[in-house]
Amino acid sequence: MTFFDQQQWTARAYLGGWTELNGTSTVTNPATGEKIAEVGFGDPADLADAVVRAAAAQRAWAARPAEDRAAVMRRAGRALEAHTDVLAEWLVNEAGSGQGKAAFEAGLVASEAHAAAALALMPYGQLLQSSRPRLSFSRRRPVGVVGVISPFNFPAILSSRSIFPALALGNAVVLKPDPRTSISGGLFLAAILEEAGLPEGLFSVIPGGADVGAALVDHPDVPVISFTGSTAAGRVIGERAGRLLKRAHLELGGNNAMIVMPDVDIDAAASAGAWGSFLHQGQICMTTGRHLVHADVHDEYVALLAEKATALRAADPAGGAPLGPIIDERQLEKIADLVDRTVQAGATLRAGGTHEGLFYQPTVLTDVRPEHPAFAEEIFGPVAPVLRFEDVDEAIDLVNASEYGLATAILSGDAFGALELGDRLDSGILHVNDQTVDDEAQAPFGGTRASGTGARFGGHEANLEAFTETQWTTVQSSIQRYPF
C-alpha cells in the first residue's frame, strides 16, 4: 500500500488509529467544485472518546526519556520530507493553494517536526537561589491533553505548529481541523505520525462542526486550548476557557500595515506589496491589508502595484496558476462587499474588483481613507488598499489605530531608521524591508490586542510557555525541623 492511500482513510477519522464514525463529510476541490474525498465527521461523543484515549496514553508518554520523543519527531520530519509532494498536492486540491505556496507550506511543516525534536531535548527548568541549604529549582512539566483547533488557510502548518511541540514535550493532542481542510490539516499529519511510530492514543483527529470545537474547549480533561482562527471565534473560545479556568492560546486575525517610505526602491517595494497582499488569495492572517505610501512615491507605487495585480492570474492552481480560488462562496461575498462599499465611499478601483466563480482577481484600491471598509476591516482576500500619507507620525498613528496588532512592515532606504520607527508600533511582528507575510519554525509568532492572546507559537521559550506548566521543586538531605 502506498503512503496515505485513500482507501485506508476514506470515510474515517483518526482516534489513535483509522476509525469509522457515524457521520461522514464530503471534501470538495474549491477550484473545480468536484468531490475529491470523503472523511469521517465526528460529534461531541467522538471527541469525548478521543480525550479518554489521549489521557490514558499521555502519562506513559511523558514518562519516556526525552530522546524517545525526539526520535519520533525526527522520524516524522524525515517522513514529511519524503512525502512533501503528497502533502503539497492535497494543499492544492483541498485548500486551493498555489503550487509555490503549497510547496513552501509542506517544507515548513517538516521544519516544525525537526524543531520539535530539538525542543524535546532543550533545558526545561532553572536552578533557583534559596535561603535554606537545599536544592531549589523550577521545572516545566507537560499539561496533559492539548486541544488544537486549526483553520483552512494554511491548514498543515497551523495544525502542526501546535501538534508537534505539544507531543515533543510529553503531551497528548486532540485536533479539530477546519472541516473544509481536514485532510491536509489533520488526517495527513495522523498518517505521518503513525509512520513515525507515535504510540497509539496520543494523537486524534476529529473532523467536525462547531459543536465538536465547543466540546473540546469545554472538556474538563483538556487544560490547554491552542486556537488559530478569526478574532470573533477567538473571543468566544477565550471567554469559555476563562470561565473554566483553562488556558487558551489564541492566534487571531490581522489587518497588517506596510509603510512605504519615500527613499525606497519603488519596483522592489511594489513587488513586496503584491506578494504581501495577493499570496494565497490574501487568505492569510499576516496578509498586507493596508499600504501606507508616502506622497512622494505614491503614484508610481500604485501604478506598479496595479500592473503586477493585472498580470497575476487567478485560476485552478493544479494547472499552474499563481493564485487559486477563495475557499468558499461566503468568503467571496464578504470580499466583494468590502470592495464595493469602499468604492462607493470614494475609493478608486485601479485593478481587479471582479471574479469568475470563486476566482477573485487581485485588486488595488487607491484614494483610500482610514474610515473606508477595505482599510478599516480585515479582508482575507486579494485586495490592496493604498493610502497616501505626508508625515511619518501620521502613518504611525494610522497603523496603531487598528484594533489588530499582528504584523507590520516598513520599507525604507534607511533600515536602522525604520527599526527605530518600529519601536513606536504596537505589533507582535515587525519586518524591516520585507512585507508582512513570513513564518519560521524557530521564531515566536503571534500578535497583540485583537490579533491574539496567550503564548506565542514557535521557538523554545514560546512552546514551553504554551504546552507545559511550571512546578517549583525543592530537595534537602534531611527533613526540616520546625518548632511545632
Q: pLDDT for 457-484, tens place per residue? A: 888 899 999 999 999 999 999 999 999 9
Grid cell 504596537 — which residue? 426
> What is the C-alpha separation between 209 and 193, in angstroms, rounded?
24
Q: What does the DSSP assignment read for 254-277?
A: --EEEEE-TTS-HHHHHHHHHHHH
> What is the C-alpha separation between 429 and 424, in angstroms, rounded?
13
Q: Are 155 and 178 in contact (CB under 8 A)?
A: yes
Mean pLDDT of 373-393: 96
What is the model's pLDDT at position 18?
96
Mean pLDDT of 120-133: 95
Mean pLDDT of 82-95: 97
What pTM does this model have? 0.95
Domain range 256-432, its CATH number among 3.40.309.10, 3.30.70.890, 3.40.50.150, 3.90.400.10: 3.40.309.10
Active site residues: 251, 285
**What pairing do the DSSP bridges indicate for beta strands 429-432 and 407-411?**
parallel
Computed over every residue of the chain, the mean pLDDT equals 96
Beta bridge partners of 5: none
Structural domain boundaries in the chain: 6-252+451-473, 256-432
pLDDT of 1 > 80? The answer is no
3-state helix vs strand vs coil in the chain, percent to 5: 45, 25, 35
Q: Are 98 and 106 in contact (CB under 8 A)?
A: no
Which CATH code fits 6-252+451-473? 3.40.605.10
What is the model's pLDDT at position 16?
85
* Helix, strand, or coil (residue 317): helix
What is the model's pLDDT at position 456?
85
pLDDT of 242 > 90? The answer is yes
Mean pLDDT of 64-76: 98
Give the strands of the sheet with 135-142, arranged side by side: 125-128, 135-142, 468-475
What is the model's pLDDT at position 145?
98
Alpha carbons within 13 angstroms on the beta-carbon side of residue 47 total 27
What is the model's pLDDT at position 457?
85
What is the model's pLDDT at position 255?
96
Q: What are phi and psi of 388, to 5 degrees?
A: -85, 135
pLDDT of 263 > 90? The answer is yes
Amino acid at 106: A
Amino acid at 217: V
Q: Are 389 and 395 in contact (CB under 8 A)?
A: yes
> What is the C-alpha separation between 272 and 267, in angstroms, rounded?
9
pLDDT of 211 > 70? The answer is yes
Mean pLDDT of 288-302: 98
> What is the C-alpha separation between 372 and 165, in angstroms, rounded?
41
Mean pLDDT of 68-97: 97
